[in-house]
Amino acid sequence: MVRLLLLAVVAVLAIAAPFYFYSVTLMTVMCFVIFACSFNLLLGYTGLLCFGHAMFFGGGAYITGQILKTTPISTELAILGGGAAAGLLGLVIGYLTMRRQGIQFAMITLAFSQFIYFIFLQAEFTGGEDGMQAIPRNDLFGFVDITSNFTLYYVVLAITALCVFLYYRVVHSPYGEVLKAVRDNQPRVESLGFDPEKIKLVAFIISASMAGVAGGMKAVVYQFATLTDASWPVSGEVILMTLLGGLGTLTGPVFGAGIIILLNDYLAGFGEWALVSQGVILLVVIVFFRRGFVGEFSALAKYLRRRKAAPDAKAQQVGIEPAH
Amino acid sequence: MFEGISTQLLFGQVLLGLINGSFYAMLSMGLAIIFGLMSVVNFTHGAQYMLGAFIAWLLLNYLGIGYWPSLVLAPVLVALTGMVLERLLLRPLQGLDHLYGLLATYAVALIVEGLVRYKYGSTGLPYDNPMPGGINLGFMFLPYYRLWVVVFSLVTCIGTWILIEHTKLGAYLRAANEKPQIVETFGINVPKMMTLTYGFGVGLAGLSGVLAAPIYQVSPSMGSSLMIVVFAVVVIGGMGSIVGAAITGYMLGLVEGLTKVFYPEAASVVIFMFMIISLYLRPAGIFADKESV
């Protein structure tokens, strides 16, 4: 009940937001919310640290942009195309990288992302250093005009809601439970007759396509795609968002993405300090708040609830059931 | 055989490949040593390489200390800061998932690079060549300094190899790598060894930085892009193998140089392509033991 009410409040706020805030900033936050969710699915729920997630984000942006530029296909299908292309890339890279375990996975994915980055740099269609310019916003479903940022905001909101819902479904499905089991004890899962490599590969592909959708959406919002989207600092940024929000928490990526994007926006004029502050935040989170924003908050809530419940525990000793 | 390609170009690129290979070898050796003992992927490695070059530049421009003393001083300073970092940051994270070590060193790299960039800008700073001139070999011109870099890095790599494979200290190190608890029961201070190992590994990075200063420009970003290539090198060689890392480093430097001659468009990706092929054919790495997959 409380949860439903909370959801309703969030929905109302999200619908009202563009009347009060700059819609492009809000849309950027939402793109990164999807991106961070995709990353959390991997690191938080599967225990895989992919240090090259920007290749899927940037790849999705370029493919979506290319579809919109060269064909009259409607925008939502183009974004889906970006996601599918990223998923395909995820399949190939995942297949090759799953052979190495643990921390090496991070190094290999980082190297892969640099490889993809150089390919984007040299490919004709991406526009190299200049990036892909003037991406049109084709009509949604072929008839809804989305050239104004105000209209686009609601489209982006709908896609984000859909993606977050999907992410929620994956995490809470039986498959999601197996994912968590692989993270916590892989040999055990193997002994139960599952194939952990296949399970992880599927998670990698889902995550890659979600990141591709996020990138494709960003290309639609900004109407350009650049190499920055595929560069490794962006991979680092999404790690920071996920950790800051809370690893393996459902709402963590939302908070993490929001905080970091707003911070970047605020620090944009201070040059190098954005980089330094990201490093400092990451360090503080790793050393002191490993559960992240949402994780620490819910731990605090749990602690308070337990303290409140302490008299009940006494009551239990004398045989009286505490009321819940 | 190589029609249309001048020997000048060919040998020039082979030399350049060997030089790049020298840096790959020294950096990946340091990474492999640190990973071997501490299971930490040292993401600060690139920043520490850059720091080595920067310290040499600062010593020259503010204290008038030249290249040769810097070759000793800068790596020692980098090693000392590394040891402090290990004690303050990596030690408390020891018991946790290894990814926290990687992410913590990544955070430090961001901070160091950001601060240096803030103070000195992102353009490269020149560092004078301490050994100007060279010899004409007939088929190519060989600058003395480049010869020095190749020879010196070879000596360093072989020296490190001897230290690890053929001394008592190295034996402790390898033993602590395999079974730290048992080594500790023999009265060896494993945590202290970790601090020293980390210092040694990043000292190698600092040394590479000083060596690189006269060849490349000294800039804040000189380490980060190099480090990703070095990661690929370590992956190809196999994470556990220290000698493998060095050999792979030289080999891939050469391959990269030759690619520049025959197919320049692929030069920036050839090492990554090698990584993909080696992951497919030898998932554990070229020089890894079978068990350590």
Confidence of residue A215 (pLDDT cuts 50, 70, 90): very high
Please tell me the predicted confidence (pLDDT) of residue B293.
37
Please state, as a whole number, how many other Cβ atoms lie within 10 Å of the Cβ of residue B266.
15
Confidence of residue A129 (pLDDT cuts 50, 70, 90): confident
Task: Tell whether the model's pLDDT for residue A213 goes beyond 90.
Answer: yes
Domain count within chain A:
1
The C-alpha atoms of residue B116 and residue B125 are separated, in whole angstroms, by 12
B139 φ, ψ to 5°?
-90, -15
The C-alpha atoms of residue B121 and residue A167 are separated, in whole angstroms, by 42
DSSP-derived letter for residue A138 is P
Residue B268 three-state SS: coil
Assigned domain for A323 exists: no
Q: Which helix (H) or strand (E) holds A23?
A: helix A23-46
Task: Tell whether the model's pLDDT for residue A321 goes beyond 50.
Answer: no
Mean pLDDT confidence for A208-224: 92
Q: Which helix (H) or strand (E) holds A98?
A: none
Structure tokens at B293: 């997959």
Residues near B283 by Cβ (< 8 Å), separated by ≥ 6?
A99, A100, B293
Please tell me the predicted confidence (pLDDT) of residue A48.
87
Structural domain of A204: 21-231
Assigned domain for A13 exists: no
Please tell me the predicted confidence (pLDDT) of residue B292.
43
Tell me the shortest Cα–Cα distance from B188 to chain A, in angstroms: 27
Query: Within chain B, which residues score under 50 in pLDDT?
Result: 1, 290-293
Assigned domain for A286 exists: no
CB contact under 8 A, B100 and A286: yes
Q: Please count the CA atoms within 13 angstroms of the CA of A124 that sit on its side-chain side.
A: 0
Give the residue from B269, B277, B278, B282 with the most A CB atoms within 10 Å of its CB, the best one to mutate.
B269
Residues of A in contact with B269 (CB under 8 A): 115, 118-119
Please tell me the predicted confidence (pLDDT) of residue B25.
92
The C-alpha atoms of residue B143 and residue B130 are separated, in whole angstroms, by 11
Q: Which helix (H) or strand (E) holds B168?
A: helix B168-178
Q: How far is CA B162 from the centre of its chain?
A: 18
Give the residue from A40, A92, A275 with the most B CB atoms within 10 Å of its CB, the best one to mutate.
A275
Please tell me the predicted confidence (pLDDT) of residue B225.
81
Mean pLDDT rounded to a whole number for chain A: 85
Please tell me the predicted confidence (pLDDT) of residue A85.
94
Please tell me the predicted confidence (pLDDT) of residue B289.
57
Tell me the shortest Cα–Cα distance from A136 to chain B, in angstroms: 31
Whether the CB-CB separation of B60 and B121 falls below 8 Å is answered with: no
The C-alpha atoms of residue B144 and residue B292 are separated, in whole angstroms, by 42
Q: Which residue has better confidence, A155 or A142?
A: A155
DSSP-derived letter for residue B89 is I
Q: By the CB < 8 Å criterion, does A282 face chain B?
A: yes
Cα dihedral B280, B282, B288, B291 in deg (nearest 10): 100
CB contact under 8 A, B102 and A122: no
Q: How would DSSP label each residue in A164-229?
A: HHHHHHHHHSHHHHHHHHHHH-HHHHHHTT--HHHHHHHHHHHHHHHHHHHHHHHHHHHS-B-GGG
Confidence of residue A313 (pLDDT cuts 50, 70, 90): low
Assigned domain for A4 exists: no
Structure tokens at B272: 């990554």
Q: Which of A127-136, A287-296, B156-165 has the highest mean pLDDT?
A: B156-165
The C-alpha atoms of residue B152 and residue B139 are separated, in whole angstroms, by 23
Whether the CB-CB separation of B223 and B114 falls below 8 Å is answered with: no
Whether the CB-CB separation of B34 and B205 falls below 8 Å is answered with: no
Please tell me the predicted confidence (pLDDT) of residue A322.
45
B125 φ, ψ to 5°?
-105, 135
Whether the CB-CB separation of A157 and A15 falls below 8 Å is answered with: yes
Q: Please count the CA atoms within 13 angstroms of the CA of A36 that sit on its side-chain side.
A: 31
Whether the CB-CB separation of B240 and B149 falls below 8 Å is answered with: no
Whether the CB-CB separation of A183 and A47 falls below 8 Å is answered with: yes
Please tell me the predicted confidence (pLDDT) of residue A323.
45
Mean pLDDT rounded to a whole number for chain B: 86
A143 φ, ψ to 5°?
-140, -10
Please tell me the predicted confidence (pLDDT) of residue B200.
93
